């Protein structure tokens, strides 16, 4: 296999944001050819999840990667090889992508990470072949080149982000007894944190741990920066109808999410939807694929957790008849973090207020959350 190595002059493409949490680096983007198979290789500082999509009209293969720094030779992507005419790199805060421009339709023969060995670091390899019947010779040669799949890393400790609604100048709803939602949600979040930490299985991050104001976007960003596995926003509703009572768990709806993704793709500046995301020169189709991929998976997971949580809450506290609902809450719009918004109950209802504000009531909510978190991650492990 002939591999062309690229030059030494490097430029760094990076999302124009201070929120670059990761120092992951991709370098040495290169193309090789073996018979009809075109191989794309990139050196990555660590093993990362990835996905390869093939798009038509014009023909492209898009390698989707997490957000990282790219060290790329200025002329790197201009010269093609095999089925690849050239490549382009795009970096945003929700992910990176390498677009391989193709000279014909292809299929992805293989895509895999090679763990460090023989002095080389982690490498991502993508093999493309022209569409058509498989060529036996090339497949045999390729099998010899393909290393065994990398070992799975043990899962790290799960991160749960608790988001106490409102705060600072934003008091939220006012209870029947004259208490602010912002105080009630913080006390609840603190009790939930205590309960979760006591299990010894989770890292808990609070978006706020005092009476401060945070924008919705800052809350979403906090979840993403913490690399949250789960985001729980805590609220308590209030309406004119004092008889109304019971808790509700909300997730983003399919419809709202699709519109969200559409809006993201269409607008010039998405900063107020997912703060800090610099879509820069990201082509529209790549951006919407990235968001769509992340969001589809995330919405399923959010709905699973919401179901566990509403089940557990129903066993302990009053709930709305329809306890899992879907809505377009902006605080739930982190595309890559499963998220729910809990309305603990109605502060306008004195009975609900009494439960939500009492230490015994808080303990019940915290217990329901801890059970639901355990059940959710146990299901994921299978």
Contacts with Zn ion, residue ranges (CB under 5 A): 165, 172, 235
* Least distance (Å) between residue 365 CB and Zn ion: 15
* Least distance (Å) between residue 39 CB and Zn ion: 52
* Nearest CB to Zn ion, comparing residues 43 and 181: 181
* Nearest CB to Zn ion, comparing residues 180 and 376: 180
* Least distance (Å) between residue 336 CB and Zn ion: 24
* Nearest CB to Zn ion, comparing residues 77 and 165: 165
* Least distance (Å) between residue 86 CB and Zn ion: 50
* Least distance (Å) between residue 345 CB and Zn ion: 12
Beta strands 11-13 and 69-72 are antiparallel
Non-local CB neighbours of 31 within 8 Å, separated by 6+ positions: 4, 38, 39, 40, 41, 80, 81, 82, 84, 87
**56 vs 275: CA distance, rounded Å:** 31
* Nearest CB to Zn ion, comparing residues 184 and 287: 184
- Are 80 and 103 contacting, i.e. CB atoms less than 8 angstroms apart? yes
Q: What are phi and psi of 87, to 5 degrees?
A: -140, 160
**6 vs 175: CA distance, rounded Å:** 65
- Are 277 and 269 contacting, i.e. CB atoms less than 8 angstroms apart? no
* Nearest CB to Zn ion, comparing residues 165 and 246: 165
User: In the complex, which residue's CB is closest to Zn ion?
Assistant: 235
CA atoms within 13 A on the CB side of 295: 24
Q: What are phi and psi of 170, to 5 degrees?
A: -105, 100
**299 vs 354: CA distance, rounded Å:** 33
* Nearest CB to Zn ion, comparing residues 237 and 336: 237
Q: How many CB atoms lie within 10 A of CB 156?
A: 9
* Least distance (Å) between residue 194 CB and Zn ion: 22
- Are 349 and 176 contacting, i.e. CB atoms less than 8 angstroms apart? yes
* Least distance (Å) between residue 165 CB and Zn ion: 4
* Least distance (Å) between residue 203 CB and Zn ion: 25
* Nearest CB to Zn ion, comparing residues 65 and 216: 216
Report how far Cα 24 is from the mean position of its chain's Cα atoms. Answer: 17
* Nearest CB to Zn ion, comparing residues 106 and 331: 331
Q: Which of 160, 171, 177 has the alpha carbon at shortest distance from 211? A: 171
Q: Which of 62, 73, 68 has the alpha carbon at shortest distance from 40? A: 62
């Amino acid at each position: 296999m002939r591999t062309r190595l690229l030059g030494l002059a490097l430029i760094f493409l990076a999302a124009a944001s201070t929120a670059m949490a990761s120092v992951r680096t991709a370098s040495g983007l290169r193309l090789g050819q073996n018979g009809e198979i075109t191989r794309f290789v990139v050196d990555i500082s660590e093993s990362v999840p990835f996905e390869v999509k093939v798009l038509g009209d014009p023909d492209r293969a898009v390698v989707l990667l997490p957000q990282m720094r790219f060290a790329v030779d200025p002329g790197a992507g201009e010269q093609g090889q095999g089925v690849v005419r050239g490549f382009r790199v795009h970096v945003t805060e929700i992910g990176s992508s390498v677009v391989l421009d193709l000279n014909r339709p292809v299929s992805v023969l293989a895509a895999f990470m090679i763990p460090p060995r023989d002095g080389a670091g982690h490498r991502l390899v993508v093999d493309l072949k022209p569409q058509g019947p498989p060529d036996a010779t090339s497949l045999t040669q390729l099998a010899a080149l393909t290393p065994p799949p990398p070992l799975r890393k043990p899962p790290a400790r799960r991160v749960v982000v608790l988001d106490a609604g409102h705060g600072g100048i934003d008091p939220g709803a006012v209870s029947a007894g004259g208490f602010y939602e912002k105080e009630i949600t913080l006390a609840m979040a603190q009790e939930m944190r205590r309960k979760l930490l006591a299990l010894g299985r989770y890292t808990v991050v609070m978006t706020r741990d005092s009476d401060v104001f945070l924008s919705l976007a800052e809350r979403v960003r906090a979840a993403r920066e913490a690399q949250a596995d789960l985001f729980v926003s805590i609220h308590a509703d209030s309406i004119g109808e004092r008889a109304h009572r019971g808790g509700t768990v909300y997730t983003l709806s399919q419809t709202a999410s699709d519109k969200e993704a559409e809006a993201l793709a269409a607008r010039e500046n998405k900063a107020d939807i997912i703060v800090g995301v610099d879509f820069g020169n990201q082509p529209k189709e790549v951006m919407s694929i990235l968001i769509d991929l992340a969001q589809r998976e995330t919405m399923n997971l959010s709905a699973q957790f919401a179901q566990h949580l509403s089940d557990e809450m129903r066993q302990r506290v009053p709930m709305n008849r329809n306890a899992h609902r879907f809505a377009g809450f902006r605080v739930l719009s982190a595309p890559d973090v499963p998220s729910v918004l809990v309305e603990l109950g109605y502060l306008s209802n004195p009975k609900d207020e009494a439960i939500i504000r009492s230490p015994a009531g808080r303990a019940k909510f915290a217990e329901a959350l801890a059970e639901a978190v355990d059940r959710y991650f146990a299901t994921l492990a299978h």
